[in-house]
Amino acid sequence: MSLLPADPKVRAVLERLHAQSAAQDPELGAYFGRRARAGDLDWRALDEDAHRFMADKMVALEPDKAAFCAQVCRALRARTVVEVGSSYGVSTLHLADPVREVVLAEGGAGRVIATEYEPAKCAAARGHWAEAGLVDLIELREGDLRETLKDLQGPVDFVLMDIWTEMARPAIELIGPHLRPGAVVIADNTTQFAEAYADYFAYLNDPANRLRTQTLPFAGGLEFTVRV
């Protein structure tokens, strides 16, 4: 069973983009390996050099994690999905596919609210979404998510948190109040970057926020949080 959506147009775009993203992995490994060996890398807040290096990188969510997110969206019959960190729009396509399924099957509205602040990534993502035939289901909020998510309208069914770790806490503070009971929030690499996610976990574990969380054993750890 393939991890990619069944629709041939979406599949073709995703096959190409996942391959492009994977092809950048050695360059990413070399950069962060060099910085780590030099002892001047702080994962809690990327510095200017790291931000500059990452500005044009895809860093797409791995296909198994993205497919899992799509399955959770299907199970939830998700119609309002928020993607925190969209880059070139790869995981956005994985999320928009099940939203389209529910809209086609049951009628009504559905959308993925995508967020990205690099203008070149936004332009490229729009092109990928149009090519895949899913652009009408995606609302891109271009700019710093700390501004663009301020006027979020709930209820939100599903959130993918795939962002530099320092942005996870500001994002969940804006989105958390709009989660419907039963909503799911998935965050990437929470074991690998546990220290950098400390303030995010403090939010998840605060009883006032009514969340229950568990780390799933995907590579790097995938945080699965339910609004109870």
Ligand X SMILES: C[S@@+](CC[C@H](N)C(=O)[O-])C[C@H]1O[C@@H](n2cnc3c(N)ncnc32)[C@H](O)[C@@H]1O
Residue numbers of the site for ligand X (CB under 6 A)?
A: 59-61, 85-88, 90-91, 115-118, 121, 144-146, 162-164, 167
Nearest to 35 by CA among 191, 23, 27, 87: 27
Closer residue to ligand X (CB): 68 or 117: 117
User: Hunting for tokens 């969340």 — which residue is that?
Assistant: 211
Closer residue to ligand X (CB): 105 or 159: 159
Considering the complex, what minimum distance in angstroms separates the CB of residue 217 from ligand X? 20
What is the SS3 assignment for 32?
helix
Dig out the tokens for 189 from the structure: 């690499």
- The amino acid sitting at 225 is T
Q: What are the residue ranges of helices labelled H in 39-177?
A: 48-54, 63-76, 90-106, 119-132, 145-148, 168-175
> What crossing angle do the helices spanning 25-38 and 8-23 adopt, rounded to 10°?
40
Considering the complex, what minimum distance in angstroms separates the CB of residue 108 from ligand X? 26
Closer residue to ligand X (CB): 88 or 203: 88
Closer residue to ligand X (CB): 104 or 151: 151
Considering the complex, what minimum distance in angstroms separates the CB of residue 127 from ligand X? 14
Closer residue to ligand X (CB): 66 or 183: 66
Dig out the tokens for 17 from the structure: 């983009």
**The residue count for the chain:** 228
